[in-house]
Structure 1
Amino acid sequence: MNVTNRVCIIGAGTAGLCALKNSIEHGMQATAYEQCDQIGGTWVYYEPTENEEHEDDVQSSMYKDLRTNLPKEVMGFADYDFPESVKESYITCGEVLTFLQSYAKHFNLGSHIKLRHEIIRVRPRRDIWEVLIKDMATDQYFIEYFDFVFVCNGHYTKPSYPTIKDLDIYEGQRLHSHLYRTPDMFKDQNVLIIGVGPSGMDIAAHIHDSAKEVYLSHHMETNPNTDFMTNVIHKPDLERFTKTGAVFKDGSIETFTFVIFCTGYKYTFPFLSTDCGIHVDDNFVQPLYKHCININYNTMSFIGIPFNVLPSQVFDLQVRFALKFYTKQIQLPDRAEMLADLEHDLETRRSQKLPKKRAHFLGPRQFEYYNELATIADITNIKPVIQSIMRDDGCKYISRLNSFRNACYKCINDNEYIKYES
């Protein structure tokens, strides 16, 4: 067990690649373990297979022809941007995957990545981490020991479902957006979509040309802009299901043959032993310092827990934040201080009447969060121009779903950008 600064990185998607690159640059002996056969995480599109109804066997939620709902100008890393040859700002999942592959190649990460290796169990052993790993190609198990662990397994693999009365009696077909791939199966069908987050809105736009009618159930006070989809009908929350459809809370009744749950995902870490000190309660991962560092065992960090943020930029910032402590350039607050900081954050959320499942929601507060990490760890913050573009982009998938992807951004310098229509 005589190891020095060995780092285990769980996952080789956007967060894992970022953690790997930065760990190596900080002089660590880092290895990323990825259970799929290629890097890229959620950006890898897999064709549907016969057994795909088994949700736990599907690692990616990517669907065909997806275009990003964030411009590529905010999706790069602090030291590696999308190439100028990619002209559009809202790009395809394939272009994002190509970018991640080029990132890995540029920083020579390949030799540090173990594909088709599944993390079975992580547990603390005194001042070190014992990690049980399965080589999926040989069906062999082995144990490695590490000083630090970055948990980068993402949170788009375990679907979350709402509790709705009489779902068990509904005789139509149902699926979660996790399994959605193409609109073909909805040809001339009536379809209910539950949820109007980015996936719900985008899938409605994807299938409306194929479907006969699309019912979009949500609890927004103002209906999202779907005027360009004449066969999309807004409905309130469901009261209960029937055998052939549903009764909604306004008393209306509709029939449909498919229901698509666009209702989000659960944070799950099945490989963490209970003595890792991490507990997940209604998507509240606790206890974490600044949504990142395990307060009970601070040599473990979770990258990518906050949502409604700049994903890749936040991953990069969080990794650099944690590494500043792990390389002993600065000292972490003691456990009591970190717990007090967490309680202060929770009290703020309670005062805003935010439910527990939104404990890691940042939204408008994300810019304050970036400043906190940068200031505490004395690291370079996300560029002002990136934050400005994010503010401009906002939630236009709600108000301008039919046209917001026509916008193009170009960064002039670290502070300024121009915007034009493609």
Structure 2
Amino acid sequence: MASKGKRVCVIGAGTAGLCALKNSLQHGLDAIAYEQCSEIGGTWVYTKPGQDDVHSSMYEGLRTNLPKEVMGYPDFTYPKDIEQSFVPSAEVLKFLQSYAQHFNLGKYIKLQHEIIRVRPLKGKWEIYVRDIKNDKFFKEIFDFVFVCNGHYSMPLMPEIEGIDDYKGRKLHSHWYRKPDTFEGTTVLIIGAGPSGMDIANHISKFSKHIYLSHNLDPAPNIDFMQNVTQKTVVQRFTEDGAIFKDGTTETFDHIIFCTGYKYTFPFLSMDVLLRVDDNFVHPLYKHCINIHYPTMALIGLPFYVCPSQSFDLQVRFALAFYTKKREFPSRDEMFADLEKDVEQRRKKGLTNRQGHAMGDKPYDYYRDLSETAGIENIKTVINKIMEDCSRKYIYELATYRNERFQVLDDETFVKYPMKAT
């Protein structure tokens, strides 16, 4: 086998890192994963309030906003005896642990090991690692690198006039943990994406009042949250509140920013020649391969996709080239492919921030990867379930998790209401 004896470094042991490790091993590569936390699971590991080095954004009471029927991997699905489709976060962590156990990944994972620096060296990768527990540093040389460090640990805070004048409490959803923290208070939540809507629903049961500021059109359905008022975007903050774009003013005790996260790779040296401009990481071939150094793949940048299935497909895409089953296009051809993608996005009026958004047709991206690398695509039924769930976390938040999905075959599924408990 062409890949025999080749070494792979996997950075991170969350949803992406685990499937990068498993697939690399199955392709005959000598792979090892480094995880800076004390357990596997990435963003699905709950860390308590006030704990140092919080990498996870997991909060109390979270249930998935996608059904478990699309959250498994192509070759490893959730147990069928779990009745509900939208499962608590602890079930996701349990699933990832069982995945690692099933494929015997534990002996290839080094926990509490932080990647300090990654740089190209004579056709290979020189990687410095810190053994956190023993506070020791060592160097390793690898042939390939999968960057799977996750993207829910560096909060993205918007720059809004007057934010430094505001005297109340400010936090990003990354640090939110418990709803009763806000008992009896008035709260402004900025952003009505998945976390903004879900957190509003959680704390509405404890808070005195919530203002939900966003620019969505049409506006979300919040009829089931009696103490929530929707507002336009904030024009500027005052000492005790804000003036909104429509000229109205409100006062509140707390602000929760549900405004997303930054893509960051602090361990990549400048020699890697990757740039991040407003969350657009470039230059990448097919949103994952470093064009300057194709032996590096970044897994999990695209959004509006089915995460675990997309991660697995990206990993298998890269491995088709790393094991010589496919030959990479020339550097010029990869740049041309990137420029074509950028131009199409520009014509649609998309910004850098949306540089990795797959919009309403992520299956076009899946098809491109699978056809280019000659690998199996994500099953059609997965896309159909994803379409069925689209944006329901905004417009049907009160009811959509009451549905249970059942996959019948590669093409079809059924759904029915959960039994009342």
TM-score (ref. length: structure 1) = 0.97
1:267 aligns with 2:263: yes
- Paired residues in the alignment total 415
| Counterpart position of 2:43 | 42
TM-superposed deviation, 1:184: 1.4
After TM superposition, list the pairs within 5 Å mapping 1:311-350 onto structure 2: 311-350=307-346
2:248 to 246, 252, 260: 252
C-alpha distance in 2 between matches for 1:360 and 1:369: 11
1:378 aligns with 2:379: no
Q: Is contact 1:4-1:147 (8 Å) kept? A: no
Q: Residue type of the partner of 2:36?
A: Q
- After superposition, the C-alpha distances for 1:248-302 in whole angstroms (9 at most, x for unaligned) are 0111110001000000000000000000111101100000100000000000000
- After superposition, the C-alpha distances for 1:326-368 in whole angstroms (9 at most, x for unaligned) are 0001101111011011111010111010111110011212110
Unaligned segments of structure 2, at least 5 residues: none
1:100 to 96, 99, 106: 96
Q: Residue type of the partner of 1:370?
A: Y
SS in 2 for 1:315: helix
C-alpha distance in 2 between matches for 1:126 and 1:263: 41
| Counterpart position of 2:23 | 22
C-alpha distance in 2 between matches for 1:335 and 1:408: 46
C-alpha distance in 2 between matches for 1:222 and 1:320: 38
| Counterpart position of 2:237 | 241
| Counterpart position of 1:66 | 62
C-alpha distance in 1 between matches for 2:18 and 2:219: 39
2:296 to 284, 294, 300: 300
1:369 aligns with 2:370: no
C-alpha distance in 1 between matches for 2:219 and 2:361: 25
| Counterpart position of 1:168 | 164
1:283 aligns with 2:284: no
After TM superposition, list the pairs within 5 Å mapping 1:194-205 onto structure 2: 194-205=190-201
C-alpha distance in 2 between matches for 1:27 and 1:315: 19
| Counterpart position of 1:221 | 217
TM-superposed deviation, 1:165: 0.3
| Counterpart position of 2:414 | 418
2:73 to 77, 84, 90: 77
SS in 2 for 1:16: helix
Q: Residue type of the partner of 1:292?
A: C
1:355 aligns with 2:355: no
SS in 2 for 1:246: strand
1:186 aligns with 2:177: no
Q: Residue type of the partner of 1:8?
A: C
SS in 2 for 1:133: strand
- The alignment's C-alpha RMSD in Å is 0.8
Q: Is contact 1:158-1:265 (8 Å) kept? A: yes
C-alpha distance in 2 between matches for 1:95 and 1:12: 17
Q: Residue type of the partner of 2:205?
A: D
TM-superposed deviation, 1:126: 1.3
SS in 2 for 1:169: coil
SS in 2 for 1:363: coil
C-alpha distance in 2 between matches for 1:263 and 1:254: 20
2:106 to 107, 110, 113: 110
C-alpha distance in 2 between matches for 1:28 and 1:4: 6
| Counterpart position of 1:145 | 141
C-alpha distance in 2 between matches for 1:190 and 1:222: 25
Q: Is contact 1:191-1:215 (8 Å) kept? A: yes
1:86 aligns with 2:82: yes
Q: Residue type of the partner of 1:87?
A: E
Q: Is contact 1:224-1:399 (8 Å) kept? A: yes
TM-superposed deviation, 1:416: 1.1
SS in 2 for 1:142: strand
1:212 aligns with 2:208: yes
C-alpha distance in 2 between matches for 1:182 and 1:67: 14
- After superposition, the C-alpha distances for 1:37-86 in whole angstroms (9 at most, x for unaligned) are 0000000111212x66xxxx210000011000000000000100001111
C-alpha distance in 1 between matches for 2:410 and 2:364: 19
C-alpha distance in 2 between matches for 1:253 and 1:308: 34
C-alpha distance in 2 between matches for 1:134 and 1:247: 47
C-alpha distance in 1 between matches for 2:219 and 2:185: 23
C-alpha distance in 2 between matches for 1:364 and 1:335: 29
SS in 1 for 2:164: helix
C-alpha distance in 1 between matches for 2:197 and 2:324: 45
TM-score (ref. length: structure 2) = 0.98
Runs of 4+ displaced beyond 6 Å: none
SS in 2 for 1:17: helix
C-alpha distance in 2 between matches for 1:103 and 1:390: 22
| Counterpart position of 1:125 | 121
C-alpha distance in 1 between matches for 2:68 and 2:298: 24
